Structure formats: structure tokens, C-alpha cells
Structure 1
Amino acid sequence: MSQAREQLASQAREQLTHWVCALPVLIVCVVVLADLAGGAGMIWLPLLAAGPALAATTNGPRGVLSTGLLAVVLGASLGTRDRVPGEELAAVLSALVTVTLASGLASVLRGRRERVLAAVRSVAETAQHALLKPVPATVGPFQVAVRYSAAAAEARIGGDLYALIPTPYGVRLIVGDVRGKGLPAVGTAALVLGVFREAAYDEPDLLAVVERIERSLARNLGADDFVTAVVAGYPGSGRLEMVNCGHAPPLLVRRSGGRLSVEPVEPAHPAPPLGLRALTGHAPGLQVLPFADGDQLLLYTDGVTEARDRGRAFYRLGEGLARHACEEPSRTLDALHAELLAHVGGRLHDDAALLLIRKPAVPVIAG
């Protein structure tokens, strides 16, 4: 379904691009028709310059020069037909040539900027795939879905982070939020994910994984920097281990007696954000909760819960999850993400990450 929507959207964008590229020629034609209908002579001829001027924003240099040449030829023909004095017609045609040349130069510069931007976006997309690696639809015993949106669409990546990997000690995952924005936040996110991926394979104890991340951040972060995060693991036997380091509580979805419940998993042992333990001296504790067949767990960052509408009302994630929860995590997050964007009017003002896992009653075989 999502691929079909993307194809339709791509076709619509291509059709719109064709119409936009043809718009400068249509404007020239409208000016010509207006002159032929009104016989107004010099009144309409200067408006022919709108064609090549607009072409600079929609076409390449060839399109601009072609539109300008068309405008000059038609302008000369109309001026001769309407018996415009030679000096006045020459001034109009000279202006059309000047506008065409200037528009052609502007089109060249615009093309260069677009190529640079495309290269930057390509690098950003590569960095995103290296930092936030795509998560498959099934990991271990879980169905999984992830949605990530950077506040700056051009950046593709930001300070929110997530990872979910199978290890010798069961599936382990992390969702976190780096304080700050921009490249420093991206660098910190990369550091956290790198340490997590290594420690998750090496350490049998989930608290030891968190300790490894804490020590690394203590060596590399500034005094005012920190990372809020939830680190979780599923060692098996229907139980989920969790360590919450100053992060928003995950939402646990369960169905009991035909009724769906969505409850926040408040930390039993509150701990400071990663990187701040030295200031508090408070070590995190391990929280264990049952996680049976059919249960779901949604982890997220504050870019979701702090998203506001025009009336400054926050998005109610728990209520949205209760409305849209189903047996397919990808469909659930598609609906949540669409509702979130509608709530904020189409654009988020902070990075936002959603990671949903579900333990099906029948094990899913990855295809």
C-alpha cells in the first residue's frame, strides 16, 4: 500500500513538473492573444518579458533561451502588425533580450545550487542509513515498525536515535534523545548507538550495557550535555527488561477480555539521563515486566508528545495509539504519524521517533 501511494505521488509530481515547465510559454501565448484581441500595440508587448523571467525558476538555460527567443520573435511580429514606431519596438525587443540573458544566467546558478543541494541530501541520506540503520519488519520474535522524522527535512537526521538488534542475550533495543540540535547532536547520537551496538553483543547484563554507554558519554560529552534514553531487552520467557534514563515512559498495549488498554510504563527506579550520573550519584535500576503474546510496546521521543497544534494543545499519543493499535505495527505507526502531522499542520518543529514492537501469538517467519 505504501509503495502504491509513493508511485501515485511520484506520478503526480512529474505531471505537475511538466505543467510548471510549460507555464512560461503559456504566459507568452496569453500575452499574444491579448494583443491580437485588443490590438493595443505597446500596452501588451512589455509583458512578454514575464515568460523568460518565469522560465528562470522552472526551466534550465535552454528552456529560458527558447522562451526568450519565442517572446522576441512574437514581439517583433506583433510590433510590426500593430505599426509600433521603430525606436519603441527596438527598445522593447532589447529589453526582452536583456531579460532573457539575465534569466538564463539565473537559471544556470539555480541549477548549480540544486545540484549542490542534491549532493548534500545524498550524503545526509547515506549518513542516516549508517547511523539509523533500517530495521526489518521482524526481529527475533517481534514484529517491528519504526518511523523517524527530522525537524529539518533537508537534514534527514537529527538528535533522536533508535536501534533494535538481535544478540546472544535476546533482542535489545534503545530509543533516545540527545540534548541540543545540529551536528553536535548527530555526533552524540552516533556515539551512543556505536557503544550500544557493541555492548549489547558483549554484555549479558542489560545494566552493564547502560554502564558502558554512561562511561563513554562521561569521557566525551560536555558538562551540560546529556542523553535521555530507554534501553530494553527481551531475554525470553515472556519478560521484558527495561532501564529508563530520564526518558518519556514507553506505552504498553495489552488486550484483556476483549478490551484494549494503553498504559505508560513508569520507571520503578528513576535514573538521571545518560551523561549526568556523576552529578547525581544515582545508579539506574533494572525494571522487569511481563510481555506476553499479543502485547505491544511503543517507545518514542518528546518530539511526538510535545508536538502542538495551532491552539498550542499537545498531541495525545496514548489516545492516538488506542485508536490506531492493530496487529500490524507498520499500519499502526502509519496512522499515528499521519495523525501527528495533521495535528501540527504538516511540519514538525522537533525531531520525532517512534518504535513499536509486537509479540505475535504465532512466531513470524521473516521472508
Structure 2
Amino acid sequence: MEPEKAQVGPAVLACMPIALMAAVAVADIVVGPGVGFLPLVSLGPAFASLVGGWRRTAQFGVAALVLCVGLGLYDNLFEERRGFTAMASVAGVTAAGMAAAAIRSRREAELASVRSVAEVAQRVLLRPVPLTAGPLQAAVSYTSAAAEARIGGDLYEVVASPHGIRVIVGDVQGKGLAAVETAAVVLGAFREAAHDEKTLLGVGERLERSVDRELEGEKFVTAILAEIGSEHEAVFLNYGHPAPLVIRERGDAEFPQPPAFALPLGLGLHGADGPTPFQVPFAPGDQLLLYTDGVTEARDARGDFYPLGEKVELLKDKDARRALETLRADLMAHGVGPPHDDAAMLLLRYRDQP
């Protein structure tokens, strides 16, 4: 993956009209009227329309007209048609720029409204996880690839059910509003099934039926379900999702793999076998990190993936939220430019004392 190219910032664009008109004025004075630099004064209002509203564009248009008249008189261009032609060019570009700026401002306002609605919808869907659930301490981190809208397609939930602490972390195909809609389907089905079903396999089967019924076309969701009960073990169901990271109290880590890999949610009812539950010891002092592929697939400038298994030392802070924030900061420092995929992390700690 190539590094992101630097983008021109708003401050540079804001200064461009002044710089361009000044450069045209200097060039016209130095070279003289023979080259015909005068119509290029219209570049000022043209670039002004890229930043700001129509009023700012009009102000630069008036300044460009004054500069055009001054240079025209200096070059004696009003004795012929060239001076009036240059003024007409400036006026025409200014009018077009004002119209473009007005349309852009209106569309930006509409987009801001849509973003606001989407953010509220996602906050309702991705409710804050409980700080504690039974013997567990929980913390969550979410980074969206859609930086402008701050929404994405990753999902998570922690439910304290009569059958144990049940958790889901998932990754919806796609991004934006469509992904938020799909996440709503998955989370709604999980929250209901987590309370009703006696086994984690029952939760998964019910979730599979709900997702297959609601999703259309080839949409799918990778997900991992976990259940932590009173037997000092965690039970997992993996629907094509990255393996969980289990960190033992003594510091060693492992990525437990399922006995057989299953298709993501939304694709499992098309003739393929569902996932098989598998157990992993999970005792007081241990940590469990569930995450999406935006974490492990983040690349640095050399194209190397983020080495999550080598970063367990970052999770030593006694406060789970601070520990996870440290890991997130390291992940952001590893990547080049803005993230290319959503990255969600859910950290569960088995406390020594409930």
C-alpha cells in the first residue's frame, strides 16, 4: 500500500486568490501588455469560490475588477478592446464562481445534516458497553474509516444474560449508512437472542436466520460470538472473523482458532455448515481482546501489517480503558495517513475479585 499523498489544506486554498492576482499583476508589469496576462486576473475569484461562500467570491471579484482596470490603464489597453474583454472575463468568471460557491455551500449543509443523523443513529446502535459485567471489566475502542462522517460498519455489544456474559464483535460488508443499517439488524437480533437462548450455539443459529432473512443480495457480516460463564472458560463461535486474542495473567498470548472455519453471517444458510463452538480457558487475571480486521490489516510505510500479537505489553495498565487507548494510539501511529478500514476493539478482563 502506497503512502497517502499530501492534500492541499484549506489555509493554502484561502491564500491562493491573493497570491495568483499578485503574481499576474507582477508578471504584467514586468513583461508588459504584449503577452496578454490581464485576463488571468480572473483566477482570483475562480479560486475564491473553492473556499468560502458566494460573498467571499464576490469580494475577490470586485478586487479583481479593480486590479484589471488599474493594469488596463497602466498598459493603455482601454484604447482598444483588450481592456474591456479582460473586464468581461473577470465579471463572467466571478458570476460563475458565485453560483458554484452557493451550490457547494447548500450541498455542504445538506451533507452535514445527513452526517448528524447518521452519527446519532450509530450512537443509538453502538451503546456504551458496561464498565463491568459480572466478573469482567470491559472497554471499547472504535475508529471509523469514514473520517468525514465518523460512521462505519463495525459493531460490538456486551449482554449480561441469565446464561452468562455474551459478547459479539462484527464487521459489516461496506461502510456508511448502508453498513449502519445492516449493523442495526445484527445488533437487534443479538440483543434479543442473547437473553432468550440457553446456549451460544442457539444464539448463533437465531442470529444467522435473522440476518439471512433481512439482508439482501450478497451482503454479509463477519462476527465472533463469545460467552463467559462461571466455569473459568470462554466459549466462541467464529463466523469468518479474525481470531480472538487471549492474554494470560503471566503475559503470554495466543490466538485460538476454531476447529473448522465457517462462512460469515448472511452466507451460512446457503448449504454450508455453521461454526462449531470451541472452549478456551479464561481465568481471573486473563484478558480477552476481540477486534475487527481494520486492526490487523493496518499497514505502515513499508506495507507491513500491524503486529497485534507483539503488542500485548501495551495492555498492562490497570485501567482497561487507558490500556486500550494506549493500544489504539500505537495502532494509529503504525498506519500511514487516515485509516482505510474501520477498526473496533473490545477488551474484556477477568477480574481477580468480582
TM-score grouping bracket, smaller chain normalisation: 0.7 to 0.9
Q: Distance in 2 between matches of 1:187 and 1:315?
A: 29
Please say if 1:287 is aligned against 2:308.
no
1:243/1:285 contact within 8 Å kept: yes
1:71-150 alignment runs, 5 A limit: 71-87=64-80, 88-135=82-129, 137-139=131-133, 141-150=135-144
Structure 1 residue ranges without an equivalent (≥5): 1-15
For 2:43, the aligned partner's letter is A
Residue 61 of structure 1: CA displacement?
Answer: 0.4
Distance 1:262 1:52, change over 3 A: same
Deviations 1:32-84 (Å, cap 9, x if unpaired)? 46666x48357553332121011010121000001110111132123324433
Distance 1:271 1:85, change over 3 A: closer
Please say if 1:261 is aligned against 2:252.
yes
Percent identity reads 46
1:41/1:78 contact within 8 Å kept: no
1:128/1:156 contact within 8 Å kept: no
Distance 1:45 1:227, change over 3 A: closer
- Matched with 1:10 is none
Distance 1:30 1:219, change over 3 A: closer
Please say if 1:322 is aligned against 2:322.
no
- Matched with 2:228 is 234
Residue 105 of structure 1: CA displacement?
Answer: 1.1
Q: Distance in 1 between matches of 2:15 and 2:174?
A: 44
For 1:49, the aligned partner's letter is S
Q: Distance in 1 between matches of 2:276 and 2:301?
A: 38
Residue 287 of structure 1: CA displacement?
Answer: 1.9
Q: Distance in 1 between matches of 2:95 and 2:126?
A: 46
Q: Distance in 1 between matches of 2:64 and 2:142?
A: 48
For 1:212, the aligned partner's letter is R
Please say if 1:171 is aligned against 2:165.
yes
1:331-342 alignment runs, 5 A limit: 331-342=322-333
Please say if 1:59 is aligned against 2:49.
no
Larger displacement relative to structure 2 (139-148 or 179-188): 179-188
1:18-33 alignment runs, 5 A limit: 20-32=13-25
Structure 2 length-normalised TM: 0.80
Matched residue pairs, number? 342
Q: Secondary structure at the match of 2:138?
A: strand
Deviations 1:87-144 (Å, cap 9, x if unpaired)? 3222221211111111111111211221222222223222322332333555555443
Residue 191 of structure 1: CA displacement?
Answer: 1.8
1:208-227 alignment runs, 5 A limit: 208-221=202-215, 226-227=220-221
Deviations 1:285-334 (Å, cap 9, x if unpaired)? 352522313x2211112333334456554332212x32422324444444
- Matched with 2:243 is 249
Distance 1:41 1:298, change over 3 A: same
Distance 1:100 1:197, change over 3 A: same
Q: Distance in 2 between matches of 1:19 and 1:311?
A: 30
Residue 360 of structure 1: CA displacement?
Answer: 4.5
Q: Distance in 2 between matches of 1:98 and 1:109?
A: 17
Q: Distance in 2 between matches of 1:18 and 1:310?
A: 27
Residue 353 of structure 1: CA displacement?
Answer: 2.3
Q: Distance in 1 between matches of 2:130 and 2:63?
A: 54
Distance 1:108 1:188, change over 3 A: closer
Q: Secondary structure at the match of 1:102?
A: helix
Q: Secondary structure at the match of 1:279?
A: coil
Larger displacement relative to structure 2 (121-130 or 173-182): 173-182
- Matched with 2:3 is none
Q: Secondary structure at the match of 1:133?
A: coil
Q: Distance in 2 between matches of 1:143 and 1:162?
A: 15
Please say if 1:40 is aligned against 2:32.
yes
- Matched with 2:192 is 198
Deviations 1:240-280 (Å, cap 9, x if unpaired)? 34333443220012232xxx222112336765544526734
Structure 1 length-normalised TM: 0.77
Q: Distance in 1 between matches of 2:47 and 2:178?
A: 40
Larger displacement relative to structure 2 (133-142 or 67-76): 133-142
